[in-house]
Amino acid sequence: MHHLLEQATDILMHPIKELHYFDTLYGVRPANALTEFSLRQLAREIDNIISAKSLKPFGKRYKCYLRANRILATTAIEKVDYLDLFRPCLLGKALVGEVTPEYMLLDDAAIDGMRSVVGEDAGIILICRNPVKRLLSAVKLMNVYNGMNLTQPQADAWVQRMIDENSTWMQAQDKYNDYEQAIARFSTKFSHFIAVSYDEMIESPISVAKSLETKLAIKINHDAFEDGTKKVANDLGGNLQISSEIVAFLKDRTAEKQGFLNEYFGREIVK
């Protein structure tokens, strides 16, 4: 969604895809996790600058990227002004945005706090995906991003261990799959809230674009949006698959959540 809105609208999407501002502010994410993440990004960019044979003038988006990371790495989140993280790109931009999945885990009090910062008229988008497919995608992402290099048997063993131990990772996946509660919380706090089916976004992007335009009162370039959805499919992790036995267990585990999505969107959420 970050890529789609950046490509197909005039919204200033923050160059840091996931700011993790509100989830850190309200204790969903440990403060040190954001500090360490921002420091790693700064270190990487400094290394790139040092190793560059020549430097082109820094554009505003890159300055915003560096500035926001510096602020988040060195300032207590309670002292950070949310809108200030978007400077120096604010001039001439009527709308700003970011994408942080952990926001769906905010409770009512935290959502009230978010609303006091971004305003009741802020647009809130929640992408809903088949719970099993979303969980398996999380496994593939973890495998790639953490350099685990799991083989097929190792991946099965890792997921099975997470299930058997009811690990904190597994409990987190259950929370991420609880779209019903997230929809209930955010839809009562924001009039411009919309839940989007991942399936429909891939299969019928123009329909979704029109729904977003209506609900969020924004203008979307339909051609750019449709073109962007072709790049959305998450193929990280290559051919890594989880055994049919584990998949069957996960389907049973998430059956109630799957049933809610089917009813909410009036179709089976399968992808």
Predicted local distance difference test score (pLDDT) of residue 114: 98
Query: Is residue 47 one of the residues assigned to a domain?
Result: yes
Both 155 and 261 in a single domain? yes
For 1, 19, 79, 92, the CA distances from 190, given in Å and listed in that order, are: 19, 20, 25, 25
C-alpha to C-alpha distance for 261 and 255, rounded to whole angstroms: 10
C-alpha to C-alpha distance for 104 and 155, rounded to whole angstroms: 27
Both 261 and 136 in a single domain? yes
Both 139 and 174 in a single domain? yes
Both 131 and 207 in a single domain? yes
| CA triple 86-90-93, angle to 5 deg | 125
C-alpha to C-alpha distance for 93 and 91, rounded to whole angstroms: 6
Both 69 and 135 in a single domain? no
Dihedral angle sign, alpha carbons of residues 256, 260, 263, 267: negative
Both 133 and 227 in a single domain? yes
Both 171 and 264 in a single domain? yes
Predicted local distance difference test score (pLDDT) of residue 238: 53
pLDDT in tens, 22-35: 999 999 999 999 99
Provide the domain count of the chain.
Answer: 2
Query: Is residue 115 one of the residues assigned to a domain?
Result: no
What predicted TM-score, i.e. pTM, was given to this entire model? Answer: 0.89
For 109, 124, 206, the CA distances from 215, given in Å and listed in that order, are: 24, 10, 14
Predicted local distance difference test score (pLDDT) of residue 227: 93
- Which of 259, 164, 232 is closest to 5 using CA atoms? 232
Using DSSP bridges, classify how beta strands 12-13 and 96-97 pair: parallel, antiparallel or unpaired.
parallel
Query: Is residue 270 one of the residues assigned to a domain?
Result: yes
Both 54 and 5 in a single domain? yes
Query: Is residue 135 one of the residues assigned to a domain?
Result: yes
Both 128 and 245 in a single domain? yes
pLDDT in tens, 43-95: 999 999 999 988 888 999 999 999 999 999 999 999 999 999 999 999 989 99
Both 12 and 44 in a single domain? yes
Both 164 and 235 in a single domain? yes
Query: Which residues form the domain of 150?
Result: 120-271
Query: Is residue 110 one of the residues assigned to a domain?
Result: no
Query: Is residue 106 one of the residues assigned to a domain?
Result: no
Low-confidence ranges of the chain (pLDDT < 50): 234-237, 271
Looking only at Cα atoms, what is the longest distance across the chain? 56
Decide: helix, strand or coil at residue 191: coil
Query: Is residue 113 one of the residues assigned to a domain?
Result: no
Contact criterion met (CB below 8 Å) for 162 and 255 = no
Predicted local distance difference test score (pLDDT) of residue 260: 95
Both 140 and 202 in a single domain? yes
Contact criterion met (CB below 8 Å) for 34 and 55 = no
Query: Is residue 114 one of the residues assigned to a domain?
Result: no
